[in-house]
């Protein structure tokens, strides 16, 4: 920031104000700093032993300032640092605020993102609370779509959503699992950002955050034995697609391998998958009331046979394992059977209709 010298007021005027501030903290501190929001305030002046006033400077209020408070700094030391960088009007006013709140022993060292011409009491409160951690924890839950993951990353990291989106679309993030395309879309990244809990530094850029998620997916997928699926003519990427449907359709871990068996059994006989979650993905919603299985979309597995073109959500480890190792069952159908997430499985269409009717009688289905 730029400082310009301006004429100094009488030093005895400032001394008088500071003496009054010590005696009448609640009132006088407001009188001294109440106008700190004005542009061009005088800051950083001090009175030496002979009564000579140091040069005063003009600073614009509200500008960002990073202040490093070393360990062992006294309130007087900190006040001098803050005044020198224009955070407070003067060092002594900061000391008065510290004394009035009895906070001298509670001020914490560290890096602080402050602004010019703040109220001394506000700065004291921030230094008592301590600096924002340089490392933060971020959790991506299973079953999120890529746009939901980017929203979560933006909310937690403080970086704009557009920065994350741009990193994926501009080639700043790589993955061996990314299906080659002339023009990469967000849909191409579905299922390739692994759901887990991560720790990042505040300084970590969006591309690096996303690369961590993408690399974790590569590692998790590589750790699974896909030989059974590959023997059937499918790829690891197909396995992620299957896992994403299992994740979206299944709440209970104990049912994932059974749902996987239904998908595998249908694929084996060329039967359309009829996965509700793929239709909702095509509709851009998760609201079952908007379900429409007549929709013209490659993701509508009620109309198009085989797998959808991309995953529809971020599968976790258990869904990936289930996709690679389905249970051996004769089932071709399933329907939700209770509000806890259990399903009723069936081999024939008649059994399935009976399960559907029972679910309706039980109030599980409308």
Could you read off the pLDDT of 316-357 as tens digits, one per residue? 999 999 999 999 999 999 999 999 999 999 999 999 999 999
- pTM, two decimal places: 0.69
Residues 6+ apart with CB under 8 A from 144: 152, 195, 313, 314
Q: Predicted confidence band at 48 (pLDDT cuts at 50, 70, 90)?
A: very low
pLDDT in tens, 227-238: 999 999 999 999
User: What would the mean pLDDT of 15-31 be, rounded to a whole number?
Assistant: 38
Q: Between residues 13 and 176, which one has the greater pLDDT?
A: 176
Q: What is the radius of gyration, based on Cα positions, of the chain? A: 31
Instruction: Quote the mean pLDDT of the chain.
Output: 86
The whole-number pLDDT of residue 60 equals 84
The whole-number pLDDT of residue 24 equals 37
Structure-block tokens of residue 227: 């030989």
Residue 289 has pLDDT above 70, yes or no: yes
Which is nearest to 188 in space by CA: 314, 316, 310?
310
Cβ neighbourhood burial of 260 (10 Å; 0-12, 13-18, 19+): buried
Which is nearest to 342 in space by CA: 279, 259, 285, 272?
259
User: What would the mean pLDDT of 48-66 be, rounded to a whole number?
Assistant: 65
CA 260 to chain centre: 30
User: What would the mean pLDDT of 49-76 be, rounded to a whole number?
Assistant: 75
Residue 50 has pLDDT above 50, yes or no: no
CA atoms within 13 A of residue 26's CA, in its CB half-sphere:
0
Which is nearest to 18 in space by CA: 124, 93, 75?
93
| Percent of the residues in the chain that have a pLDDT greater than 70, as a whole number | 84
CA 134 to chain centre: 15
Domains and CATH numbers, the chain: 5-129 (3.30.1490.480), 135-221 (no CATH), 225-329 (no CATH)
Residue 21 has pLDDT above 60, yes or no: no
């Amino acid at each position: 920031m730029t400082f310009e010298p301006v004429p100094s007021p009488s030093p005895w005027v400032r001394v008088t104000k500071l003496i009054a501030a010590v005696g009448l903290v609640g009132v006088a501190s407001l009188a001294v700093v109440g106008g700190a929001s004005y542009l061009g305030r005088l800051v950083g002046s001090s009175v030496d032993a002979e009564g000579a006033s140091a040069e005063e400077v003009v600073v614009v209020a509200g500008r960002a300032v990073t202040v490093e408070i070393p360990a062992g700094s006294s309130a007087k030391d900190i006040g001098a640092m803050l005044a020198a960088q224009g955070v407070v009007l003067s060092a002594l006013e900061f000391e008065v605020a510290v004394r009035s709140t009895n906070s001298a022993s509670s001020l914490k060292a560290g890096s602080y993102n402050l602004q010019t011409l703040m109220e001394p009491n506000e700065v004291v409160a921030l230094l008592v609370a301590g600096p924002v951690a340089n490392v933060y924890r971020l959790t991506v839950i299973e079953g999120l779509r890529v746009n939901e993951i980017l929203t979560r990353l933006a909310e937690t990291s403080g970086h704009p959503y557009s920065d994350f989106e741009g990193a994926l679309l501009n080639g700043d993030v790589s993955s061996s699992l990314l299906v080659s395309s002339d023009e990469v879309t967000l849909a191409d990244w579905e299922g390739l950002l692994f759901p887990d809990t991560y720790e990042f530094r505040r300084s970590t850029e969006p591309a690096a955050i996303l690369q961590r998620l993408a690399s974790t997916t590569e590692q998790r997928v590589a750790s699974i034995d896909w030989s059974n699926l590959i023997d059937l003519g499918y790829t690891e990427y197909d396995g992620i697609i299957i896992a994403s449907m299992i994740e979206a359709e299944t709440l209970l871990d104990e049912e994932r391998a059974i749902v996987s068996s239904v998908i595998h059994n249908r694929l084996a006989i060329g039967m359309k998958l009829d996965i509700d979650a793929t239709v909702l993905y095509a509709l851009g919603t998760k609201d079952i009331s908007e379900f429409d299985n007549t929709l013209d979309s490659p993701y509508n597995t009620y109309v198009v046979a085989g797998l959808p073109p991309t995953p529809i959500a971020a599968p976790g480890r258990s869904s990936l394992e289930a996709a690679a190792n389905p249970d051996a069952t004769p089932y071709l159908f399933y329907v939700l059977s209770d509000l806890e997430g259990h399903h009723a499985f069936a081999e024939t269409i008649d059994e399935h209709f009976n399960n559907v009717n029972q679910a309706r009688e039980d109030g599980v289905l409308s």
